Chain A
Amino acid sequence: MTTPGRRWRAFKNGFAITLCGVAVLVALAPLLSVLWLVVKNGAPALGLDFLTKLPAPVGESGGGVGNAILGTLAIVSLACAIGLPIGIGAGVFLAERGDGKFGGAVRFTAEVLSGVPSIVVGIVAYGLVVLPMKRFSALAGAVALALLMVPPLARSTEELVRLVPRALREGALALGVPAWKTSLFIVLRTARPGLITAALLAIGRAAGETAPLLFTALNNQYWNVRPDQPTASLTVQIFNYAISPYEEWRQKAWACALTLLLLIGFLSLGARFLARSPGEAR
């Protein structure tokens, strides 16, 4: 039975599927363009000097962003020291004892906090650390990044811990292992590959943050590892170079961007690799 609309409907079907396919291409285009141009414009300037030297003043050739790379690593490490324990702890709390009203409130807060603009968190770190210390510092930047890191990490930790089979936990408890040891050495250990992946992804996101560092860690022309001093970071360096009027600095912005993408890429590659490693977790 051929209804008159049948071909029209078949056409609409094909048309809609094609449109959805076009949407995929539309999404793909900027991604490829960004990646390609960062590699193309960044690669020529990238070299050992660029990765290890201090920035050169305008007009002088050479120079690098070694201090910014070190700064990013320092700020992010410090942020991890603050953020990872709290985020993972909160996640375990949600998974193991989070079924009550209080747990529900914590879970919802974590979800909503994941959407708070990072620049607002920068203001918070400014008020909490910069104002009392009366100076910009790596610590202030790290506090901002840690605040950003905790809520999403708590949520992903919760999901990973919930995936651990209940039988493992019951087995340990049945053998008389105290609940806290069960949680730390059985449950968390089983979830470990997943947790490492989640942590690496969180670190990658933190390393890419710019806005909350602008007025917390600020910037620094020189090497610095002291947490109470202003510190350079790759992202802030990209921003400063990009908006500068000098062609050679703009060139360096691309090279910085390539360095940053490589850093984040290694982290997420590592995360993928660990997530897949020998049939634990899933």
Chain B
Amino acid sequence: MAAANSSTSESIPVTPAAPGGRRAFSGDRVYAGALAAAGIAILLVALLIAATTANTARPALARAGLWGFITGRDWNPVEDIYGALPFIWGTLVTSVVAIVLAVPVAVAFAIFLVEFAPSRSRSLLRFVMELLASIPSVVYGLWGLFVLVPLLREHVEPALGRFSFLPLFRGAPLGVGTLAAGVLLAIMILPTIASVSVEVLRTVPSTLREGALALGATRWEAVRIAALPYGRAGIFGAALLGLGRALGETMAATMVIGNSPEISASLFAPGYSLPSIIANEFSEATSALHIGALAALGLILFVVALILNIAARLLVRAVVGKFERSSS
């Protein structure tokens, strides 16, 4: 793929046409203008998202101040009191649970696909990954609500309850709660992390692997010594991309998290996440302050997702770019 790229990637100098060919010249200019406009549109979309969200959020931020808003623990639309902390907490807890569960499985999946799987089953595994990614989140939410939640309530949470010396596993097994949301998010971000990890592992030069094998390493040792260290930054980037998706995932979390703005150390307790409260209250919010507070939550989400994605892309590029430079 990279080889094909390198042969076509230098752009062809677009001849600004000889002074005589006026017709061709104007057609080229219109076309170039249209293309550039589409390119500018992308930058514009970014600005638009930032500006519109910030502008809608202004009334709420002006009232409480950014810091006051972030650290506020109460959310009471009736009395116009808005604090973001319970939602930030819920988002953090569910995302951490999701990452802890999803990263090992996703990376192992990617290693299996790239390093161990017989070449015929590779396309099947890819298909599984694509299928997992293509199921809409509301369908995952539906499944979570009627399959995962009862499963957690009846089997998993009572079993984990034995470890109740840890504050994580205290309280009644309700099923709905931060644990359910975390598990569901883990399933949903799995294909993201796995597919980026596959992309990263595939760029590991086969000479590295062969060198390790030639020195007598087992297949696993070749992965551990050669492939994983080479791709480490990229796999970390993949995990960050997954984290970014988990933070912003709305429907699935909304349907199983319990929707109650509490801050609890227990994973069994219901919680509330940033996207869920926006999804639940936005269409019914009428006062500018309420809408502003919800938009401010969205702004927090946007900024965090932006930072995570920028970091992740830079990390993945560091690995994949290294490959493309060395192969061209």
Contact = CB atoms under 8 A, between A and B. Distances in A.
Interface of A: 9-10, 12-13, 16-17, 19-24, 26-28, 30-31, 33-35, 37-38, 85-90, 92-99, 102-103, 105-106, 108-124, 126-128, 131, 136, 147, 150-151, 154, 162-166, 169-170, 173, 178-181, 183-184, 204-205, 207-211, 214-215, 218, 235, 238-239, 242-243, 250, 253-254, 257, 260-261, 264, 268
Contact of B279 (A12, A20, A119, A151): A119
B138 A235 contact: yes
Interface of B (DSSP majority class): helix
A118 B248 contact: yes
Contact of B250 (A88, A119, A147): A119
B112 interface: yes
Given A119-B301, A170-B12, A207-B136, 7 more contacts: A24-B128, A106-B43, A119-B275, A127-B53, A136-B283, A154-B42, A235-B136
B53 A124 contact: yes
B37 A126 contact: no
Nearest 8 Cβ contacts at the A-B interface? A117-B248, A208-B136, A89-B38, A180-B31, A23-B108, A115-B309, A13-B218, A211-B250
A103 B42 CA distance: 11
Given A93-B35, A117-B248, A178-B24, A209 B136 contact: yes
Interface residues on B, range: 35 or more
Contact of B305 (A10, A108, A120): A120
Contacts of B112: 17, 20-21, 23-24
A169 B108 contact: no
A93 B8 contact: no
A12 B220 contact: yes
A23 B320 CA distance: 25
A170 to B, nearest CB: 7
A160 to B, nearest CB: 11
Interface string B101-136: 000111011011101100000000100111110111
Nearest to B302: A120
Given A21-B112, A119-B248, A150 B41 contact: yes
Contacts of A179: 12, 14-15, 24, 28, 31
A97 B250 contact: no
Nearest to A157: B38
B52 interface: yes
Contact of B295 (A117, A123, A235): A123
Contacts of A214: 279, 282-283
A103 B220 CA distance: 41
A194 to B, nearest CB: 13
A150 B45 contact: yes
Given A23-B109, A123-B282, A215-B283, A164 B138 contact: no
A218 B283 contact: yes
B49 interface: yes
A116 B298 CA distance: 10
B17 interface: yes
Contacts of B190: 27
Nearest to B121: A24
Contact of A128 (B52, B113, B313): B52
Contacts of A173: 12, 15
B178 interface: no
B247 A117 contact: yes
Contacts of A21: 112, 116
B27 A180 contact: yes
29 contacts: A13-B220, A13-B221, A20-B111, A21-B112, A23-B106, A24-B109, A28-B128, A34-B135, A89-B38, A95-B11, A97-B14, A98-B39, A99-B10, A103-B39, A106-B40, A116-B302, A117-B248, A117-B249, A119-B279, A120-B298, A122-B278, A124-B48, A166-B8, A208-B136, A209-B136, A211-B137, A239-B255, A243-B145, A268-B130
